[in-house]
Structure 1
C-alpha cells in the first residue's frame, strides 16, 4: 500500500505470508452441495462449494458456476436449479460428481443417485440428500464478469428423519472437514 512501510516477519508475531492462490481454503463457504439442472431433456448434477446466503426473506443464495461447467449452460438457459445438501455419508459420491463432466457422463446413473420431481422447477431433487432447495435465478448482472448467479429459493424440502445429518466442507486439494459438535451461545439474532 502507498505510504505504508514494509515490516519484517517478526513484527507480525507467528504470522507468516500465505499464498494468495490458497486464500479460498481459509474462507471456503458453507457445506459442499449438489446443484442439479435440467435442460433439453437431460438432467445433470454438479458439486459446488462456492455459495453463500444473501438474504433471509425471501431466501436468496449467491453461487458461482463456472462458464466451463456443463451446468452453466443449463442454468443460464432455464434460470432454475435445485441445491441439494448431502450428508457426509455421500462424500465419495460428491467427489465423484465433482471429478467428471456432465458433457461426458450421466452423473445420476454413474453415482446411483435418485432423481425426484421438484414442485416448482424442472431440475430434479436428489432423494439421498437430507435437504433440497428449488431455486430460480433472480439476478445475473455479475454472471458475465464473475459467473455469479443470485438464486431465490422458491420451495424447500428436508427429510425430518435426517435432521442431525453432518455436512462436509471443502478445504481445497481433496481435503474436507466434517461438521462437528454443535454449541449454543447467547445471541440476539433470530
Structure 2
C-alpha cells in the first residue's frame, strides 16, 4: 500500500453525483456546481451539503433558507464544470449557459429544465454551518423528467476527472433487511 496526501480522501469516498444548486438572492437566480453532499436520512429526506462563504450561493442560502438541487447528466458535463469556474456575482449563469429556469412547486429558486431531476429543499439545520459549512437540507418536493433519455450522472474524482454513472447492478433480492426502502 502506498501513502497519499490526506486532502485526497474525497477521491475514494465521493458520495454521489455532481449536482447543480440553484438559489435566489435579491430576486436574481444563481447556479453553483457542488460535489460535497450526502444523504443524511430517508424520512424525512435530509441531505447534507457543504456550501461555504467562498461560494456566491452561501449568503443566498443563509438568507432565504431555500435551494434546489438539480441532477445533471453526462450530456451537461462541460456546462457543469464551466458553471463551477465562474461566479454568480458577475455572471447570469442561466443566460450564459443556455439553461432553462422553471418554476418550482414549493420554493423560490428555479428548477433547471435540462436536468434529470430537481429536489426542492429548505434548510433544516444550520448547527454545523459555522464550523464545517455543512447545511442540512430537507427535500420538500421532487420533479423528474421521465422522457429524458440520458440518465448517466457525473461523479467527480477530485482531480478534474469524472466517472460516468449508469450501469446498474441489481441486488435488491439480497437486501432482505432493507426491503421497505425498495420501490
Deviation at 1:26, TM superposition (A): 1.1
What stretches of structure 1 of length at least 5 have no aligned partner?
Answer: 1-14
Structure 1 stretches (4+) deviating beyond 3 angstroms? none
2: CA distance between counterparts of 1:168 and 1:161?
19
Matched, 1:78 2:64: yes
| Structure 1 equivalent of residue 132 of structure 2 | 146
1:180 aligns with 166
Name the structure 2 match of 1:55.
Answer: 41
Alpha-carbon deviation of 1:131?
0.3
Q: What does 1:4-15 align with in structure 2 at a 5 Å threshold?
A: 15=1
- 2:17 is aligned to 31
Please state whether the residue corresponding to 1:152 is helix, strand or coil: strand
8 Å contact kept, 2:75–2:150: no
Structure number, greater radius of gyration: 1
Alpha-carbon separation, structure 1, partners of 2:146 and 2:167: 19
How far 1:167 sits from its partner (Å)?
0.3
CA contact (8 A) 1:139 1:150 kept: yes
| 1:123 alignment partner in structure 2 | 109
Aligned length: 176
* Correspondent of 2:98 among 112, 129, 150: 112
Instruction: Report if the CA contact (8 A) 1:37-1:44 is conserved.
Output: yes
Query: Cα offset for 1:28?
Result: 1.6
Structure 1 residue 163: Cα displacement: 6.9
Q: d(CA) in 1 for partners of 2:12 and 2:86?
A: 25
Conserved in 1, the CA contact under 8 Å of 2:155 and 2:165?
Answer: yes
Residue 102 of structure 1, CA deviation: 0.6
| Aligned 1:35-46 pairs, distance under 5 A | 35-46=21-32
In 2, distance between residues paired with 1:183 and 1:27? 19
Q: Give the Cα–Cα distance (whole angstroms) in 2 for the partners of residues 92 and 164 of structure 1.
A: 15
Question: Where does structure 2 lack aligned partners over 5 or more consecutive residues?
Answer: none
1:133 maps to which of 116, 119, 125: 119
Q: Quick one: distance in 2 between partners of 1:149 and 1:33?
A: 15
